[in-house]
Amino acid sequence: MRQRIIAGNWKMNKTIPEAAELAKGVVAATAGASAEVVICPTYVCLPAVGEAIKGTHVALGAQDLHWEKSGAFTGKVSADMLVSAGVKYVIIGHSEQRTYFHETNETVNKKVKAALAAGLLPIVCVGETLSEREAGRTEAVVEDHVVGAYAGLSRDDALKTVIAYEPVWAIGTGKVATPEQAQEVHAFIRGTLLQRLYGAEVAAAVRVQYGGSMKADNARELLAKPDIDGGLIGGASLKAADFAGIVKA
């Protein structure tokens, strides 16, 4: 059985004191959770949040990283830096990175390899825009993202990853893929792992999260689907009670 994983992507929100307070609230509100719980604050908040959740059931995640170990890359953060801050998971290839900051399959792949080499666990984001869905290209886009992200990765490396399916048209818009739409794409992702990349064992083991406006009131129905193993949560992760409602679902 795949353990469910609910990760909160705080994006560019919360000052250091606010982040530490929210982290403590998440720890308290999700006590006893059967799902794995991850919170991903901004870089500057990682030490404070790490201290707030130290020794608890909540894991620390980062929102991105650079693929080089060090060098003249102003404003970037390496995998080793994240490890030294106590980070366990790192989000890679989020749609906002693709849309605003020129992320490509090639850079996603480099980042995934760098994360794994440092002992981090990547949350690899894939998903189509509204125009791509309306053009009937959902499967082509998602397959391209998955195959590109996993290029050159061994079976053992693939088993250390999580995939987050985020229909871009449903992020921050209030629109949500129906459970049936989400399940269809999640099953397709698992099929891509099975048929194109790694075979049955890896396809059955890799967790695939849903990442498009999941909230407490729709989480249960989404998570009831056989191939949806959790959520990558944006806005609803910024209040401990809202986030806990999803974890409890």
145 assigned to active site: no
Can you read off the two tokens belonging to residue 203?
């396809």
Q: Which residue has the tokens 């999260």?
A: 209
Altogether, the residues listed in the chain come to a count of 249
- The single-letter code of the amino acid at 78 is S
- Cα–Cα distance measured from residue 105 to residue 149, given in angstroms and rounded to the nearest whole number: 6
- The single-letter code of the amino acid at 146 is V
Query: How many beta carbons lie within 10 A of that of residue 141, not counting itself?
Result: 17
Q: Give yes or no for a contact between 129 and 176, defined as CB atoms under 8 angstroms apart.
A: no
Choosing from 96, 128, 166, 186, the catalytic residue is 166
**C-alpha count within 13 angstroms, C-beta hemisphere, residue 132:** 16
Q: Indicate the DSSP class of residue 86.
A: T
Choosing from 66, 94, 145, 186, the catalytic residue is 94
166 assigned to active site: yes
Annotated catalytic residues are 94, 166
